[in-house]
Every structure is written in C-alpha cells, then in structure tokens.
Structure 1
Amino acid sequence: MPILSLPFARGLLAAAALIALAPAVLAQGKPSRASIDETYRQDRAACLDSASQHERSACLREAGAARAEALRGRPLTGASPEELTRNALQRCQRLPPENKMLCERMARGEGTASGSVAAGGLIKELEIQVPAPAPMAAPPPMMAPPSPAAPTPMEPPPLPK
C-alpha cells in the first residue's frame, strides 16, 4: 500500500477543511457574499500551500466549485441519510431477484462494514444462514447381476460323408 506523500496529504487536508467548513457556513442561514468570498480566500490559500501542481489544481477546482454552489444558495452538506438509502434501494432494483432482497437488506443497514475509503475500499458483508439441503435417500441396493447361463456345448460340425 503506497504511503501518502506530504504534498498529497496537504492537499487532502485542504479539501477536508473545505468540506468541514461548508456546513458551519450554511448552518448560519444563507451566507453573505462577503462570507462566501472570505471562505473561498481561505480555501484558496490552503490549496496554494500544496507543493504538487496536480493536487493544487484539483484543490483550487474544488474551492471554486464550492464557492459557486454557495453563491447559488445550494447546500454543500450532501444528501440526507433518507435520500442516500432511497438511492441505494433504487440501485438494488436492477439486480436479479435472488440478489435483490439481500441488496435491499444491506441498503437498510443490515450487515457489517470494514475498511475505509482511505485504505482502498469499504467491504460490506451480510451473513445469512442457509439451511442445508435435505439428505438424499440412499440409492437402492445394487442387485447382483444375473449369473451367466451355463454355456451350451457347441456341437461339432457334421462330418463329411
């Protein structure tokens, strides 16, 4: 598993700060243009601290997108838990019937989750107990093959006369 570089970690930290600050600004009601611009300046400054040009440009794009959404009055907090559950249940609709029920149970929160996005993936599991199939009936006993009939003696061919 690769170790995060310091510039990459800074970029992630800046993006996390951007995401963490957005709900606080929105919780105060509709933010003013001045507060939106101030938040953008802070986000931009955090992005410019990144040593990697790629991470810096991605961070700046995110900061600009967050500012644009704030100016439109759209919340940056993401979807509600109910909306996320509804979306997950819709994704289950495309599955075959035998998998659809299990998918819906997992979408409603059953099962366990391990790992993390940062570690490379989130594994979700749902253990179910399936009864063992009924034991098969024993096959009927094999009957002994019929004994071959005693061979009939072959008659010698008739002698010429």
Structure 2
Amino acid sequence: MSAKRNFSLSIFIACKAMRQLAMALFISGASLAATAAGNPQDANARYQAERAACLNGQSNQARATCLREAGAALQESKRGRLGDDQAADQRNALLRCNALPADDRDACQRRIAGEGTTTGSLLEGGVLRELTVPDRK
C-alpha cells in the first residue's frame, strides 16, 4: 500500500472516530439537558433509557464509560446541578480562544460571537466556523 493511500486511510479512520465521538457527546449532552429540565421521575426514566442504550451498545462509548456517565448524570440531576447554561458554554468557547496567538485569538472570538459563516453540525461530524479577514499588509 502506498504511503499516500495509507495516509488517506488514516485520515478517513480518524474522521470516522471523530464523528462517532461527536455523536456520542451530542447524545449525552441532549440527554443531560433533558434530564435537567425534568422532575426526579423524568431523571430516573432518562437514566433507564441511557442505561439500556449502554447495555445494547447504542451509545458509541465503552460500556463501562457509558454506564458511569449515565449514573453521574442521574446523581447530578438529583442534586439540581445539571443544566443547560448557554452563557457558560459561550464563556468556555471564548476561553478556548485564549490559547491562540493574538491575531488568531481575535478571529476566534469573532467567530464565537457569530461573525462569519457556520456550517455543519455535530451529527455531521463537526461545526465549521469561518471568518474571512483582510490581509494586514
């Protein structure tokens, strides 16, 4: 097998793994948000559904990890500490921009603020945010 073909295959496998991870995170996040919004009976019902998905291999996670996450979500829901805080999500996204060099950081923050175009979804394997900035020459 040529090096180019091997490299392409490696990228394909990595992309597939990333899509599966994104799907698992999306499903986990959606179920966590639904659990947070409901009462304890809803939380228990959600836990049972998540547990069944773990045991049936439908979660795209290792069984032990899936069961641990489902149990942790149930406990956090019972403590009232499970929520869907979009402001916190925004702050976290902006904090990730801080790791970039100054020019890239500014563009990152602008993309998070909604400038530019956004395509894709977690179900498709990722969200791509693009911002075209003029060259500073």
- Count of residue pairs the alignment pairs up: 118
Q: Which runs of 5+ in 1 are unaligned?
A: 134-161
2:105 maps to 1:100: yes
Q: What is the percentage of aligned positions where both structures have the same residue?
A: 36
Alpha-carbon shift at residue 63 of structure 1 (Å): 0.9
Partner in structure 2 of residue 85 of structure 1: 90
Q: If the length of structure 2 is used for normalisation, what is the TM-score?
A: 0.59
Where relative contact order (Cα < 8 A, 6+ residues apart) is larger, the structure is 2
> Structure 1 pair 91/49, CA: closer, same or farther in 2 (3 Å)?
closer
Could you say what secondary structure the match of 2:57 adopts?
A: coil
Deviations 1:31-60 (A, max 9, x none): 23x4433332232122211289x6222221
Alpha-carbon shift at residue 119 of structure 1 (Å): 5.2
2:67 maps to 1:57: no
Given candidates 37, 40, 46, the residue that maps to 1:27 is 37
Q: 1 or 2, which has the higher helix percentage?
A: 2
Backbone CA RMSD of aligned residues = 3.6
Contact 1:69 1:76 in 2 (8 A): no
Write the distance in 1 (CA, Å) between the matches of 2:96 and 2:36: 30
> Structure 1 pair 121/99, CA: closer, same or farther in 2 (3 Å)?
same
Q: How does 1:136-155 map to 2 (within 5 A)?
A: none
Partner in structure 1 of residue 75 of structure 2: 68
Deviations 1:106-147 (A, max 9, x none): 22111223445555544332112337x6xxxxxxxxxxxxxx
Q: Which runs of 5+ in 2 are unaligned?
A: 1-11
